[in-house]
Structure 1
Amino acid sequence: MTTSITTPTTTPTFVRPDDPAYVAAVAPFVTTTTPRPDLVVEARSPADVAAAIRWAGEEGLPVSVQATGHQLLSDLAGSLLVSTRHLDDVRVDPVTRTAVVGGGARWQQVIAEATPHGLAPICGSSSHVGVVGFCLGGGHGPLSRAFGTGADQVRRLRIVTADGVERDVDATREPDLFDALRGGKTGFGVVTEMEIALHPVSRLHGGGIFFPGEASPQLLHTWREWVATLPDEASTSVALLRLPPDPSLPPPLQGAFVTHLRFAFLGSAEDGAALLAPMRAVAEPVADMVGEMPFAAIDTIHSDPTEPMPIWDDGATLRALPAEAVDALLAVAGPGVDTPLIMAELRHLGGAIERRPEGGHDAVAGRDAAFGLYALAPMFPPVAAIAPAAARGVVDAVRPWASGGLPNFQGPAGGGRLGACWDDATAAFLAGVREAYDPAGMFRTVGLIA
């Protein structure tokens, strides 16, 4: 790696660390780590990406990619960062029920274009997340039990590989690369465009119910048995939340320890209420926000943060959730535990997630998992020093029942073990595809970013 870099003479906009625009160009959503690549290209077309990658190959520079900055595993020092945030066009075709999205588009843009046609994408719990990074990592959201993962919706991708070549990839054109991209997450190139399937969904019966944190033992034990009764059209997660004294929160939730039940159901309001009855009977809610809602309001189910912040997160998948696993989780994150954790969450998986599309192959991790576990702690002083251990402790507590992980739920703690998300056969397949399209390791020598 040279210490002096000559800015390439190409059409893209390149930004150096001493440029006033540099801070905005590299700004991530998760601010735990400050990116400091040697150079940034603000791509405004696939041709910009291709030119930048060809130049990086000539210079021997590793290449990293950022759309929204929700997942950063290193500071990217010594690399060329390709920012795709300006490649954010979204085009919806209501006849074919598809959307073509740019490499930097967010789910909120797809939702805005799709919902007027009564269509919905398979997005995550937050519409602020980028479409491409979500789908490349598999992508699990409130409709995934009914329709599959985000990766299952991908019909076509346009990608610039390490040789600087733009490639249109689908089930018939370079099928191995197509299979690897759908779930393999990183190390193949820069996706500049993606075509995804949409579904005829315009409303949900869903939302969140906040229960007193002290009721979490009864709630979690009831929840683990209750989920077995749910149809694929229903999805749920439950989170132990330690909320800040934020005046923007409803007064009963400010500074409170609560158990947050999340629920999304495609059926009728009457059937949804009947499904929820066993959980509502466990304890008196602090706030019950479940009801009929337009799909466009899907963010309100989880109410994920929308402002950048420093966090330490960790996660795993579980093959089962026996009573002992719930007790182990409560011992490190439940009532009376002194911990810096903001959240310890269990997500119910299964349903269409575990069913690979007919005749298809992909690299989606965790299809056979029953639950996903996710822990999150803030990296603010004075708890920053103990936050990593707290998040790790949640995952370690349920280690006897763990089966792997989901690539999109591997934060800084998971950087060195991202490969453990896949089984041996899939990991070997991904390694072979990376070797074929990136033999010099241009995209494999820096931390993952999405």
Structure 2
Amino acid sequence: MTASTSTPTSSTSALLPDDPAFAAAVAPFVTTLTPRPDLVVAARSPSDVVEAVRWAGAAGRPVTVQATGHQLLSDLAGSMLVSTRHLDTVRVDPEARTAVVGGGAQWHQVIAAAAPHGLAPICGSSSKVGVVGFSLGGGHGPLSRAFGTGADQVRRVRLVTADGVERDVDTEREPELFAALCGGKTGFGVVTEIEIALHPVARLYGGGIFFPGAASPELLHAWREWVTTLPTDTSSSVALLRLPPDPSLPPPLQGRFVVHLRFAHLGSAEEGAALLAPMRAVAEPIADMVDEMPFAAIDAIHADPTDPMPIWDESATLSALPAEAVDALLAVAGPGVGTPLVMAELRQLGGAIARGPERAFDAVAGRDAAFTLYALAPMFPPIAGIAPAAARGVVDALRPWAIGGLPNFQGPASGGRLGALWDEETLARLTAVREQYDPSAMFRTIGLR
């Protein structure tokens, strides 16, 4: 293959913008931006990735990577996009309690493969998210307070670096690169396979409780005190939701402003119910969906949207959540506030998230945070023009307690701020690793170079 070749050749599926299959190949889950790379390579094997990267190197083309498109930070203009969504194999080793997962696989595939063995991964609030991006970006979910971040579960990464070499890296083989990948997420190569730890979790006591939005002051103030009493095998988040009049929602929730309390407890149902009792007593629920559940039903806890949509989101990590912070949140997203926001959310961190594994260095951002703050507004007309300011206003209101952010919660608004997620020492090491393995900056990263 030479630099004069117009597209990668061989069995690789290389699509140009005028190809009828191009739009489907680049379609993201978050549709705020429309990807418009110069071409897309729909890799169906690791050798396809190797060939594509070597061609890009010879042709002097920048490379971007996409699996599910849940986190599109730019329109990818001028790049060659390597799509890994077809690399979606999953192999579970029940004795080792590990799973080997292809670069494009989603969490629901891992959950389904692990469940027959009584095992579960550390996934996020939606099983439709890609495994690789979630894990390498740190990754927080309902089991993270008990077992750590998604990055802490990674045992091995196979990737194709800018020189077109496919490498297996772990704590013994190229440990500096491995540590950078586990938290640093992007800019090191195209991940074709990842090996992660699984945990002996077959069930939990969990779900969500919907309360009237009018009770949000009492509920949020009670929640901020209550979560400090929870053991590490228990996690919770709370969201102020402005639900659309969607007929697919239960009738009591259609078109309503509600408080959604999420809860997950690994102990018995009796223990979980006792822990949850103080919050159940704060207000009369509209719907209480917390109960014993198989781990495979974990999506029911957050009930995240499953259809692609355009959104504008903003986020931050918080050092604490005093009463003043709750009041500030209510002032911009609580009862009586006219806003295009559909969600303003707080998630509890701590527990095993705050501890890191033994690695060359720890590239996971936000271990010292107590909570995450997340605001989301849809980018549909006619509110698209005011949605960014509304989401930004939520984070600005809690700025006195903000100490950073998480890579997986950064959207198009993050611009050049991604580099600010790490302290100077960690960012310097991440930059050094990127420059070692990708000296010409072939792999595009936003705000990191």
Structure 2 SS opposite 1:383 = coil
Could you tell me how far apart the structure 1 residues matched to 2:360 and 2:201 are?
Answer: 24
Aligned counterpart, 1:105: 105
Contact 1:75–1:447 (CA under 8 A) maintained in structure 2: no
Could you tell me how far apart the structure 2 residues matched to 1:9 and 1:344 are?
Answer: 47
Query: How far is the alpha carbon of 1:8 from its aligned partner?
Result: 2.7
- Read off the aligned partner of 1:252 and give its amino acid letter: P
Could you tell me how far apart the structure 2 residues matched to 1:387 and 1:213 are?
Answer: 21
Identity %: 81
Map 1:429-440 to 2 at 5 A.
429-440=429-440
Aligned counterpart, 2:194: 194
Contact 2:175–2:359 (CA under 8 A) maintained in structure 1: no
Query: How far is the alpha carbon of 1:444 from its aligned partner?
Result: 2.8
Map 1:26-37 to 2 at 5 A.
26-37=26-37
- Read off the aligned partner of 2:43 and give its amino acid letter: A
Aligned counterpart, 1:281: 281
- Read off the aligned partner of 1:337 and give its amino acid letter: V
Quickly say closer, same or farther: Cα 1:161–1:358, change in 2 above 3 A: closer
Structure 2 SS opposite 1:384 = coil
Quickly say closer, same or farther: Cα 1:359–1:80, change in 2 above 3 A: closer
Aligned counterpart, 1:327: 327
Could you tell me how far apart the structure 1 residues matched to 2:249 and 2:382 are?
Answer: 23
Could you tell me how far apart the structure 1 residues matched to 2:331 and 2:285 are?
Answer: 23
Quickly say closer, same or farther: Cα 1:360–1:141, change in 2 above 3 A: farther
Contact 2:175–2:360 (CA under 8 A) maintained in structure 1: no
Map 1:284-363 to 2 at 5 A.
284-358=284-358, 361-363=361-363
Q: 1:88 and 2:93 equivalent? A: no
Structure 2 regions of 5+ residues with no counterpart? none
User: RMSD over aligned Cα, in angstroms?
Assistant: 1.2
Structure 1 regions of 5+ residues with no counterpart? none
Could you tell me how far apart the structure 2 residues matched to 1:38 and 1:421 are?
Answer: 30
Aligned counterpart, 2:140: 140
Structure 2 SS opposite 1:341 = coil
Q: 1:375 and 2:381 equivalent? A: no
Contact 1:263–1:290 (CA under 8 A) maintained in structure 2: yes
Quickly say closer, same or farther: Cα 1:315–1:446, change in 2 above 3 A: closer
Aligned counterpart, 2:64: 64
Deviations 1:302-332 (A, max 9, x none): 0000000000011000001111111111111
Could you tell me how far apart the structure 2 residues matched to 1:195 and 1:204 are?
Answer: 24
Deviation larger for 355-364 or 104-113:
355-364
Query: How far is the alpha carbon of 1:362 from its aligned partner?
Result: 2.6
Contact 1:88–1:104 (CA under 8 A) maintained in structure 2: yes
- Read off the aligned partner of 1:335 and give its amino acid letter: P
Deviation larger for 410-419 or 212-221:
410-419
Q: 1:389 and 2:392 equivalent? A: no
TM-score, normalized by length of structure 2?
0.98
Aligned counterpart, 2:9: 9
TM-score, normalized by length of structure 1?
0.97
Query: How far is the alpha carbon of 1:414 from its aligned partner?
Result: 1.1
Query: How far is the alpha carbon of 1:358 from its aligned partner?
Result: 4.4
Could you tell me how far apart the structure 2 residues matched to 1:360 and 1:175 are?
Answer: 6
Contact 1:37–1:75 (CA under 8 A) maintained in structure 2: yes
Aligned counterpart, 2:237: 237
Could you tell me how far apart the structure 2 residues matched to 1:321 and 1:183 are?
Answer: 25
Structure 1 SS opposite 2:191 = strand
Q: 1:212 and 2:212 equivalent? A: yes
Structure 2 SS opposite 1:238 = strand
Query: How far is the alpha carbon of 1:5 from its aligned partner?
Result: 7.5
Could you tell me how far apart the structure 2 residues matched to 1:299 and 1:350 are?
Answer: 22
Could you tell me how far apart the structure 1 residues matched to 2:185 and 2:325 are?
Answer: 29
